[in-house]
Amino acid sequence: MTYPLEAGPLDVLSGVNMNIADGETVAIVGPSGSGKTTLLILLAGLEQPAAGTIEFDGVNITALDADALADIRRDTLGIVFQSFHLVPSLTALGNVALPLEIAGRERAREHARQLLARVGLAERALHYPSQLSGGEQQRVAIARALVHTPKIVLADEPTGNLDLRTGATIIDLLFQLNAASGSTMIMVTHDDAIARRCQTVYRLNDGRLIKDESHALSA
Ligand code: ADP
Ligand code: MG
């Protein structure tokens, strides 16, 4: 990935090679500025790499147009951001129902209500994001990311803006819901303890991605 900046192009990722199996849980660990978010943005099809390909079920998504990419995102991706990114004008329930409504699924609200209950927020269904704590907002975001049982869940430092205890609860919830839906999960984190809960760990340094083989051995 190359960011076109006024001062000249900035290459962020260069040696990235990874194969992820169906249902695999993958952690990407690396220091701040190493390109973790950039990598997730590419995987989500939100930016195009300057070189290289990203294949999803044998389809090269870097060759798709914006509409086709939007279809893939809608049908197969769930994303959890570090800073929640809930829609401020929608209630917790409205936020969780959104992916289902966009996909035209039936009984969206009912289904969303069930997911909200699974993340422990049945009582907060009609609260707006500004009326929720950070941990509660992230629980809504997790419910929203998983409500349509996406094939792939992308999570970018989902506990980065939360205190330690709230963060631990959020991570448990994310692993639980993910296991229940059987989704593939790619989680960016700088926390080794969280990374070790994933089947595979990669380390990103200076734009180069290296598989942590010691993790595979210890697993
Ligand atoms: P991480 O998530 O690992 O902290 P990022 O992927 O956010 O790292 O950033 C990697 C590098 O790319 C950083 O040096 C950052 O300054 C730069 N960068 C990130 N986003 C942009 C952007 N939109 N435009 C230009 N440079 C960017
Ligand atoms: Mg980041």
Collapsing DSSP to helix, strand or coil, 68 comes out as helix
| Residue 8 host element (H or E) | strand 8-11
- Contact (CB, 8 A) for 46 and 54: no
From 12, 40, 188, the mutation candidate for ligand 1 (largest count of ligand atoms within 8 A of CB) is 12
- Contact (CB, 8 A) for 183 and 146: yes
What string of pLDDT tens digits covers the 219 residues of the chain? Answer: 778 877 777 888 888 899 999 999 999 999 988 999 999 999 999 888 988 999 998 899 999 999 999 999 988 999 999 999 999 999 999 999 999 999 899 999 999 999 999 999 999 999 999 999 999 999 999 999 999 999 999 999 999 888 988 999 999 999 999 999 999 999 999 889 999 999 999 999 888 899 998 876 555
From 6, 16, 29, 37, the mutation candidate for ligand 1 (largest count of ligand atoms within 8 A of CB) is 37
Q: Which phi-psi region, left, alpha or beta, contains residue 75 (left: φ > 0; alpha: ψ -120 to 50)?
A: alpha
pLDDT of res. 217? 58
- Ligand 2: centre distance to CA 1 (Å): 14
- Is the C-beta atom of 217 inside 6 A of ligand 1? no
- Is the C-beta atom of 29 inside 6 A of ligand 1? no
pLDDT of res. 174? 93
- Contact (CB, 8 A) for 207 and 11: yes
DSSP 168: H
Cα dihedral 4, 7, 8, 10 sign = negative
- Contact (CB, 8 A) for 134 and 84: yes
- Is the C-beta atom of 81 inside 6 A of ligand 1? no
pLDDT of res. 9? 77
pLDDT of res. 214? 84
What string of DSSP letters covers 195-208?
A: HTTSSEEEEEETTE
Q: For ligand 1, what atom is nearest to the CA of residue 156?
A: 2
